[in-house]
């Protein structure tokens, strides 16, 4: 039957249809018509009987008479959807009760059909109902997958907390012992040690200090994932000037040229945004250390409706083929002998920018400096 082609697909599972109608002749006619059209039909004259069966069987669609002495179609549909919220209901009514049918649709029915029936008018209604049913099932599956992912994330966060606790307590204790005992050796017994032994001991102390820094930065990186954002309008110009004032205290003997542009305000967590500029500007100062005429710029541009801030220096730079590694935890493009650091700072910056809904990238050239770009939200007034 051509009219059913859009409803019954070849090799598809049978469409389970429940019919409830207290008029035996109407119920029988509809039963046989739709069964011949390929539906798996179950029919009851009683809404109560239908609800009892629904606790044991599942159905895709329900067609129910609107006016029945035992229970009206609106009440029946409400009870049916409490059993299966993905069910799609269609009410059947005569011409004189269209207003009531519309009320049924407000109560949860998808559509209505008028008696007497014609297969050509029923099939489009069933086709729409099946599409809605399919979408409801897909949405329910997606919601279930989301719930599973949320549970997995919560489990991962608990593991991260356990890991952070282990790092904080289990690793720091022996490290403190190594550092403390090594310093006792230096203070109490270094005069009787050969020069080579003293050098080795100093290397142990330096390595312990570096390990302590790595642990502290790793913990900071882990905590950042859980730290709540306290957003408010932030004056970026004032924030950058405050950061530079603090950082330049350690570079009093250097003649660094600073070019600070007009930096528009943003909305974000001021403490975390300050950390972005602390890390980027301290890097710029560090990597221009060996430059005769160091220059550092902090500017902002509007690009494609975005507020793009950037920090640029003319220092050591980097090879662009390794740009993708810049923001990896503990990944460094320069040796510790050249420039100190743990390789966590840019990872922290990236995480902070992402948590503010922005993105970050970098451009550079060996010996010619580097530029770090990042986007932040505009203030509502902007």
| Mean pLDDT per 10-residue segment, the chain (382 residues) | 49 83 87 87 91 90 86 86 85 70 70 76 83 85 88 77 68 81 84 84 82 71 69 92 86 82 91 89 86 90 86 87 73 50 73 90 88 85 55
Domain covering 2-117 assigned CATH 3.40.50.720 in the classification: no
Question: What are the start-end ranges of the H helices in the chain?
Answer: 24-36, 47-54, 73-83, 98-106, 119-166, 172-189, 195-224, 236-247, 270-287, 345-355
Q: Please report how the helices 195-224 and 172-189 are oriented relative to each other, as an axis angle in degrees rounded to 10.
A: 150
C-alpha 71/C-alpha 45 separation (Å) is 11
- Residue 205's pLDDT is 85
Paired strand residues for 363? 371
Return the pLDDT at 7.
58
Beta strands across the sheet bearing 16-20:
40-44, 16-20, 61-65, 88-93, 111-114
CATH 3.30.565.10 fits 232-376, yes or no: yes
Q: Of the candidates 188, 70, 80, 204, which has an alpha carbon nearest to the alpha carbon of residue 133?
A: 80
Cβ neighbours of 382 (radius 10 Å): 11
Q: What is the pLDDT of residue 374?
A: 94
* Residues 265/229, Cβ–Cβ less than 8 Å: no
CA atoms within 13 A on the CB side of 137: 12
- For the chain, domain boundaries: 2-117, 157-224, 232-376
68 and 94 Cβ atoms separated by less than 8 Å: no
What is residue 165's predicted lDDT score, i.e. its pLDDT? 66
CA 148 to chain centre: 14
* Cis bond before residue 25 (omega within 30° of 0): no
CB distance 108 to 88 below 8 Å: no
Per-residue model confidence (pLDDT) at position 221: 65
pLDDT value for 2: 43
Q: What pLDDT, on a 0 to 100 scale, did the predictor assign at position 96?
A: 57
């Amino acid at each position: 039957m051509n009219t059913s082609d859009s409803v019954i697909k070849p090799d598809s599972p049978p469409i389970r249809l429940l019919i409830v109608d207290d008029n035996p002749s109407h119920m029988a006619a509809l039963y046989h018509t739709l069964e011949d059209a390929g539906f798996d039909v179950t029919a009851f004259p009683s809404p109560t009987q239908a609800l009892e069966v629904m606790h044991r069987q599942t159905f895709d669609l329900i067609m129910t008479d609107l006016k029945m002495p035992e229970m009206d179609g609106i009440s029946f549909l409400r009870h049916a959807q409490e059993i299966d919220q993905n069910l799609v209901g269609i009410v059947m009514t005569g011409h004189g009760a269209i207003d009531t049918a519309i009320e049924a649709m407000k109560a949860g029915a998808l559509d209505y059909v008028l008696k007497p029936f014609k297969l050509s008018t029923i099939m489009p209604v069933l086709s729409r109902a099946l599409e809605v049913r399919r979408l409801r099932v897909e949405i329910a599956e997606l919601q279930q997958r989301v719930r599973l992912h949320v549970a997995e994330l919560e489990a991962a966060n608990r593991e991260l907390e356990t890991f952070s606790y282990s790092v904080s307590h289990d690793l720091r204790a022996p490290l403190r012992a190594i550092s403390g005992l090594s310093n006792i050796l230096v203070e109490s017994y270094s005069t009787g040690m050969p020069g080579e032994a003293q050098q080795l001991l100093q290397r142990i102390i330096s390595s312990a200090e570096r390990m302590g820094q790595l642990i502290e930065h790793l913990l900071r990186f882990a905590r950042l994932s859980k730290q709540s954002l306290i957003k408010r309008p932030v004056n970026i110009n004032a924030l950058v000037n405050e950061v530079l004032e603090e950082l330049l205290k350690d570079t009093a003997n250097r003649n660094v040229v600073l070019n600070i542009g007009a930096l528009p305000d943003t909305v974000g967590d001021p403490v975390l945004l300050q950390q972005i500029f602390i890390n980027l500007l301290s890097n710029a100062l560090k990597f221009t250390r060996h430059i005769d005429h160091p220059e550092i710029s902090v500017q902002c541009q509007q690009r494609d409706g975005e507020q793009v801030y950037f920090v640029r220096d003319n220092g050591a730079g980097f090879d662009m083929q390794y740009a993708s590694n810049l923001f990896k935890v503990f990944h460094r493009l320069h040796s510790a002998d050249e420039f100190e650091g743990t390789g966590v700072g840019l990872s922290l910056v990236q995480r902070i920018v992402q948590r503010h809904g922005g993105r970050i990238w970098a451009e550079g050239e060996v010996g010619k400096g580097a530029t770090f770009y990042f986007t932040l939200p505009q203030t509502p007034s902007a």
